[in-house]
């Protein structure tokens, strides 16, 4: 009788331990499958429209996750906040992100999903002319957006005359108010940024092209490589079946996509 009680006790204890292990395993699996998808206000690439995150890269990401059966949890926040979350946590998707030398080993990459040119802009009529980065380095003040690739690029080139702000519309206002002499933006995003700041493109003029680059979907370190490969495979399929081009041209009709579709 005593031995039977011991046997039953051991069986019950084993079931309890096994149940706990299964629950823990399920919790771990759930934690791995949950992916944070973060972006910023960066029209027409990513932006908020009628209470929903929109933009051509946003739409590309939505198509990628739809084809993988991943729930849409895209969240728009400030670039500075999103960038820091992606740097310090696994399973974070950050888009869109310029793939620069400084960032190369900080993320895993899916793309490219777009291209742009970084350009110095001055207030129209200012008379400012720039022919090199060396000449720009001599400016009194240059407006930049915090942690944008353009700011990081200039910092890497030794610029010490940067006035950093978390929002790009602030850069436009600083430029128009005479607080800075020039500011740096990308060609595809500046029209909407200027509009949101209360001005028009007629109020500014480009004075020097700094760089021409591609941007990507960045996936944080610690995310399984298999996840990254699935995202890249899904993007490649979008490019092959015409979906990528259709999405892109719905925002930028006359874009030259030949090299993007080949990469």
Distance, in Å, from the CA atom of 227 to the CA atom of 244, rounded to the nearest integer, reads 20
Identify the three-state secondary structure at position 54: strand
* Cβ-based neighbour number of residue 44 at 10 Å: 19
Identify the CATH homologous superfamily for domain 116-212. Periplasmic binding protein-like II (3.40.190.10)
Architecture of domain 36-115+214-262: 3-Layer(aba) Sandwich (3.40)
240: tokens are: 């092959």
For the stretch 9-68, pLDDT in tens is 444 444 443 344 333 333 332 333 489 999 998 899 999 999 999 999 999 999 999 999
- H-helix or E-strand containing 143? strand 142-145
Band of the pLDDT at 138, cuts 50, 70, 90? very high
Q: 36-115+214-262 and 116-212 share one CATH topology? A: yes
DSSP 203: G
pLDDT score recorded for residue 173: 97
> Is residue 220 a contact partner of residue 91, using CB atoms and an 8 Å limit?
yes
Computed over every residue of the chain, the mean pLDDT equals: 88
pLDDT score recorded for residue 250: 95
Distance, in Å, from the CA atom of 72 to the CA atom of 95, rounded to the nearest integer, reads 14
Per-domain boundaries in the chain: 36-115+214-262, 116-212
- H-helix or E-strand containing 174? helix 168-176
> Is residue 39 a contact partner of residue 74, using CB atoms and an 8 Å limit?
yes
Average pLDDT of span 226-243: 97
- H-helix or E-strand containing 134? helix 133-137
């Amino acid at each position: 009788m005593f031995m039977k009680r011991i046997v039953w006790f051991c069986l019950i204890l084993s079931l309890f331990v096994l149940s706990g292990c299964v629950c823990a395993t399920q919790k771990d699996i759930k934690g791995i499958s949950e992916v944070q998808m973060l972006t910023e206000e960066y029209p027409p690439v990513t932006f908020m429209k009628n209470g929903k995150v929109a933009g051509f890269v946003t739409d590309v990401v939505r198509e990628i996750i739809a084809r993988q059966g991943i729930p849409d949890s895209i969240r728009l926040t400030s670039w500075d906040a999103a960038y820091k979350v992606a740097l310090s946590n696994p399973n974070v998707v950050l888009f869109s992100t310029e793939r620069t030398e400084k960032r190369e080993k900080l993320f895993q990459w899916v793309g490219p999903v777009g291209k742009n040119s970084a350009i110095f802009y001055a207030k129209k009529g200012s008379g400012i002319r720039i022919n090199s980065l060396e000449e720009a380095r001599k400016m009194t003040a240059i407006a930049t957006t915090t942690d944008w690739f353009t700011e990081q690029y200039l910092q890497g080139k030794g610029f010490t005359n940067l006035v950093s702000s978390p929002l790009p519309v602030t850069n436009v206002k600083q430029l128009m108010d005479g607080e800075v002499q020039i500011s740096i933006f990308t060609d595809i995003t500046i029209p909407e940024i200027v509009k949101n700041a209360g001005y028009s493109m007629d109020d500014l003029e480009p004075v020097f092209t700094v760089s021409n680059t591609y941007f990507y979907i960045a996936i944080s370190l610690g995310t399984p490589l298999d996840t990254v490969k699935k995202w890249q495979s899904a993007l490649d399929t979008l490019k092959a079946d015409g979906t990528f081009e259709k999405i892109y041209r719905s925002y930028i009709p006359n874009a030259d996509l030949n090299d993007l579709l080949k990469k």
